[in-house]
Chains A and B, each alone.
Chain A
Amino acid sequence: MWKRDEAVRPPQPTSGNATSGTAEPSAIRTEATRQQERDMVNIGKSVVIKGELSGSEDLTIEGQVEGRIELKQNVLTIGPNGRIKAEIFAKSIVVQGEVHGNITASERADIRDNGSVDGDLSAPRIAIADGAHFRGSIDMQRTAGGTKPTVEHKGSDSKSSDKSPEHRSVVETKPAATVGSAAQPVSQTTVSPPVR
């Protein structure tokens, strides 16, 4: 939640030291972090979106999305609380929560420890932590340019077998195309720049 608060917080007035050439490295780092946080858009835990979500900036989802997500030039992060039933297209995808649906990343897909994906995964670079749950297919066919796909291996603990079947669905899960939700009806949501 703190990230969302940061995202909508208006820019703080900066002191001359922070922007001058003699600024402390830590101050510069803090400012850069703040800027990054301001640029990051969050969908909070309580938000439910059904429909199509597209945008042109990095996005973190902690809530629920059903339908289709397109961030073809940007990074999509499914946070630990994120619950997605959608077809996902993004430049780079980090999964820490649950995804039911196919994932296509033009650069990289990263399923972190405790992340869960039920669906087909297609990306030139793939990282799957050992604690992650994955069920589906991984497309690692060579690209037209002849470059080999890269897959990274992280972590050592296993938890995938402990996941109950309730956390899984069929591999070929297709995202629902329904529009509207009882909780928060949104027919189409386009990610817009954060309020500053």
Chain B
Amino acid sequence: MNCREAIDVMDRALDDTLQPDLKPAFRDHMTTCDPCRTYFEQLQITVEALRGLPRGEAKNPRRGELLDEFTRKPGRDSK
């Protein structure tokens, strides 16, 4: 597998959806190619960081309105 091919499938490798028959070649390329490996590792770090982003906290000024509407909904006991 050359750099071009490795980069072509890097997004699948990131999400662990790489076809099984390509995995050995990809792993091998990561072992032998420093720039590709560094790039791949940085993408991995990026994805991990995104997954760890604190959840957006936001006040909902119309929260009370929603709770009222939820409570008011007819037929809530009919299911």
Q: Do A and B bind each other?
A: no
